[in-house]
Structure 1
Amino acid sequence: MQESRKIEIMDTTLRDGEQTSGVSFAAQEKVSVVSLLLDELKVDRVEIASARVSEGEFKSVQKMAQWATTHGYIDKLEVLGFVDGTTSLEWIAKAGCKVVNLLSKGSLKHCTYQLRKSPEQHLEDVKKSINSACEMGLKVNLYLEDWSNGMRDSKDYVFKMMDGLKDEPVTRFMLPDTLGILNPDEAGRFCSEMIERYPGIHFDFHAHNDYDLAVANVYEALKAGVKGVHVTVNGLGERAGNAPLTSVIALIHDHLGFKTNIDESKLYNVSKVVESYSGVRIPNNKPLIGDNVFTQVAGIHADGDKKKNLYFNDLLPERFGRYREYALGKNSGRSNIVKNLEALGIELDEEATSKVTARIIELGDKKEVVSLDELPYIVSDVLKNGNDFKEIQMLNYSLTLTDGLRPTATVKIGIKGKVYQETAAGEGQYHAFSKAMFKIYRSLNKPVPELIDYEVVIPPGGKTNAYVQTVITWKFEGKVFKTRALDIDQTVAAIKATMKMLNMLESGNIPKMNYMELP
């Protein structure tokens, strides 16, 4: 039955993927990736290298082969080899591998202009390489390089090659869209022609993404009946890359209803490891593995999810070792806030939730997204200190930091409708600000509190644009209390906390929950 088909997955991250500009995996990284692909992710085969690249590559292949032999995976490692007599084959065998992916020419142009040989001559050379590989105990898979152009421009040549090789000891014939030229109609039609003409042969399809059609072409190739597909982790590969592993797996499982051996729950972890090793960042909107793809932004979506999971689809994040998030920002609605508070185990009443929602929308105008890690600080800032500055208002301030000079601050504040301005220098920007402020206060004979402690709390995650909470402890008339504020800049947060303190003093409203008697 069509539904019971199992598709073979061959990962070529370490061979084709390493042809990504600027990517080069260290030997130990390659062993690590092979281990993740075979041991954890359960891919069927891994193409790990090209023969004859370098001495360093040879040693890497040796290490991977040693690991695979020890763990019973040696028949799942494959190395690209060339029709060059026995040179590539000896290189592969000496490295300890057992499978060669032999690169033959799949288009007349490649045969004629690159090899400068007739189809008959090339066919004979390929047969000799196959026979030599078998004599050396190597299994053979065969690439028909540039097969897609061959099917477009020289179909008779493709069939001539296949007619001459179909009875050779070749395990798989691999059909590459080497230059990523195919559209889905062509991919499906060409694969169908191969399968109908050569029934019983195992065909793999190898897609490139030059027109951003790699996944769609894989879809049509599988519908046509190919038995295996080639992928890379994160879509790495030369030019626009190869068909990405994660998207292809979701396509196979959800849209075609076919089976694979892949453990979906390990996909995200493997993708992140390869991201680290390759240095190629995963785009935030990359399906399944991008940072934002399981994040709902609009409030109406969070509301729908809360009521009946109305904005869920089959790509549930838990399948891929991830979880759903609800963005906090200017597009957030009350449901977004509630979903995030639930995730943190925080319960607020209606009034408090409304205040927190209003603050997040306000902060979202300054920054695209507020993170879940920052939410507790926002809640604390809103509920403990409020946000209304009435009697004393900050009208303007300027902070100057110059190498070799003391920081200076100029502040302009309004107190009950009157404007005051002062400038001061200090040991730091906030120190300069506070000295300028207290100059104003002393000129008015107003009492000022003593700063007891200054604490900056940074959310986890290491984001340099995260909202930080500055908590300042004050002593005034024998009592100690705290004010706190939130901003991307810790000095600005400290200024906000100071303004809260001054308004509390002006109004005589020091909350009992915020102070304690000194001994």
Structure 2
Amino acid sequence: MTGTASAARKILVCDTTLRDGEQTCGVAFQVEEKVKIAQLLDEMGVDVIDAGFPASSQADQDAVRGIAALGLNARVVAFCRPNRTEIDLARACGANAIYTFVPTSDVHMRVKFGGTDSAVRERLKAEMADGIKYAKGLGMYVGCGSEDATRTPYDYLEEVLVLAQESGADLVGVADTVGSTTPDAFRTLISRLRSQIGVTLSLHCHNDFGLATANTVAGILGGADEVQCTINGIGERAGNASLEEVTVALTQLYGFETNVDLSRLKPMSDLIAGLSGIEVSPMKPIVGGNAFSHESGLHVSSVMKDSTAYEPLRPELVGHTRRIVMGKHSGKGIIAHVLDAHGLPYDDEVLAAVLLDVKAASVLTKSSVTEAQVIEIHRERTAVRP
């Protein structure tokens, strides 16, 4: 571990793949797919599932209803604005928990409500407080977040979140809606809010500057209790904080605890990639195809002796597998290993020749070379020998 956690705090994990993740351009999960994903997320140990936004479509209503009927261990949350109509709709879909939100930045208030004057601010706070109290009166678990919190003047942000808490919210959320904060600034912000917030403090980070995972971890170090993430980091624009990156970083680097079964991360990543049609980059940490792949001769030689030389964690921990590939950067060691595994004879001259051909084939095809190709190259090389 390279970081420090005060006392192995348990961090709650909220998955929002089915709601915010589905807002990825071109992604539309079918209702039955959402129900299947929710079941698997529950089995994986996710604490909260953001099941959808019932007011947005009939499909989301059906999905929330179907997921709520599963009787999962995870809390099933419906997303809504803090008005009684949308809260009633969420309730009618079987949800006993809601996450609601209020825009707090000047730009969001200006473009959505026509101004930033005190009258607008007071109206939004009154609507938020009424929505929270109404939902609590129905016996619901209520989370209330600040949209675009990181571009909101601090005093107003604190005022809104403290009011949400005083109105009965079980959770208050801080959203870096356009991914524009930095880890240092976010940790300071959360630490400051933590001194005023006694209920669960949740984080929702976007990845516009590639900092969603770093910001989420920084927020936890600042004292937050819950992370909101998506599988593979899918979501609007550049996406959300990646559940696999966040959970592994928190547990393996910082010593925090979560209920997530890390061995299910790679299979879940593959499922979401298939159902969403959003391919995972080979270089993506934790679940990418190259995350535990090795080609360089020096690296392969070392990994074959002790995998920790070039792997910070075991691939099995996250449900992945190690892959040794052959190509331009390979050395004699991996070629000898393949030939030995297949009982093929060779001497130094043959080994050097096969390696030379492997490198040439890799450059020519701009791809790795398979074991079958190595065997064929060996056959060709030994066939012409006197």
- TM-score by structure 2 length? 0.91
Would the alpha carbon gap of residues 194 and 348 (structure 1) be closer, same or farther in structure 2, given more than 3 Å must change? farther
Please give the alpha-carbon distance, in whole angstroms, between the structure 2 residues aligned to 1:334 and 1:271: 34
Q: Match of 1:47, SS?
A: strand
RMSD: 2.2
Q: Which residue of 2 aligns with 1:59?
A: 62
CA displacement, residues 119-164 of structure 1 (integer Å, 9 cap, x when unaligned): 22221111111121122222100111111111xxx22211221332
Q: Say if 2:172 is the partner of 1:168.
A: no
How far off is 1:365 after superposition?
2.5
Would the alpha carbon gap of residues 366 and 359 (structure 1) be closer, same or farther in structure 2, given more than 3 Å must change? same
Q: Which residue of 2 aligns with 1:212?
A: 210
CA displacement, residues 450-485 of structure 1 (integer Å, 9 cap, x when unaligned): xxxxxxxxxxxxxxxxxxxxxxxxxxxxxxxxxxxx
Correspondent of 1:31 among 25, 35, 49: 35
Would the alpha carbon gap of residues 156 and 378 (structure 1) be closer, same or farther in structure 2, given more than 3 Å must change? closer
Correspondent of 2:280 among 260, 268, 282: 282
Q: Which residue of 2 aligns with 1:474?
A: none
Matched residue type, 2:269: S
How far off is 1:270 after superposition?
0.2
Q: Which residue of 1 aligns with 2:263?
A: 265
Structure 2 unaligned residues grouped into runs of 5+: none
How far off is 1:63 after superposition?
1.5
Correspondent of 2:230 among 229, 232, 235: 232
Percent sequence identity is: 26
Please give the alpha-carbon distance, in whole angstroms, between the structure 1 residues aligned to 2:344 and 2:338: 10
How far off is 1:43 after superposition?
0.9
Would the alpha carbon gap of residues 168 and 345 (structure 1) be closer, same or farther in structure 2, given more than 3 Å must change? farther
How far off is 1:107 after superposition?
2.6
Q: Which residue of 2 aligns with 1:453?
A: none
How far off is 1:346 after superposition?
4.6
Please give the alpha-carbon distance, in whole angstroms, between the structure 2 residues aligned to 1:330 and 1:257: 38
Q: Say if 2:384 is the partner of 1:378.
A: no
Correspondent of 1:10 among 9, 14, 39: 14
Please give the alpha-carbon distance, in whole angstroms, between the structure 2 residues aligned to 1:202 and 1:193: 15
Correspondent of 2:137 among 118, 135, 138: 135
Correspondent of 1:45 among 44, 48, 60: 48
Greater shift after overlay, 377-386 or 325-334?
A: 377-386
Q: Is the 8 A contact 1:195 1:201 kept in 2?
A: no
CA displacement, residues 69-117 of structure 1 (integer Å, 9 cap, x when unaligned): 2xx43x6111111123x11111111111111101122334434552355
Please give the alpha-carbon distance, in whole angstroms, between the structure 1 residues aligned to 2:345 and 2:264: 36
Q: Which residue of 2 aligns with 1:247?
A: 245
How far off is 1:358 after superposition?
3.0
- TM-score by structure 1 length? 0.68
How far off is 1:309 after superposition?
3.9
Structure 1 unaligned residues grouped into runs of 5+: 390-508, 510-519
Q: Match of 1:59, SS?
A: helix
Please give the alpha-carbon distance, in whole angstroms, between the structure 2 residues aligned to 1:123 and 1:262: 35
Matched residue type, 1:170: A
**Which has the higher Rg, Structure 1 or Structure 2?**
1
Please give the alpha-carbon distance, in whole angstroms, between the structure 1 residues aligned to 2:199 and 2:343: 60
Q: Match of 2:166, SS?
A: coil
CA displacement, residues 384-426 of structure 1 (integer Å, 9 cap, x when unaligned): 674649xxxxxxxxxxxxxxxxxxxxxxxxxxxxxxxxxxxxx
How far off is 1:328 after superposition?
0.7
Q: Is the 8 A contact 1:81 1:101 kept in 2?
A: yes
Would the alpha carbon gap of residues 381 and 155 (structure 1) be closer, same or farther in structure 2, given more than 3 Å must change? closer
Would the alpha carbon gap of residues 166 and 58 (structure 1) be closer, same or farther in structure 2, given more than 3 Å must change? closer
Q: Match of 1:104, SS?
A: strand
Q: Say if 2:121 is the partner of 1:119.
A: yes
Q: Is the 8 A contact 2:299 2:310 kept in 1?
A: no
How far off is 1:284 after superposition?
0.9
Which one scores higher on RCO, CA 8 angstroms, separation ≥ 6?
2
CA displacement, residues 225-256 of structure 1 (integer Å, 9 cap, x when unaligned): 11111110011010110011111112101221
Please give the alpha-carbon distance, in whole angstroms, between the structure 2 residues aligned to 1:316 and 1:277: 27
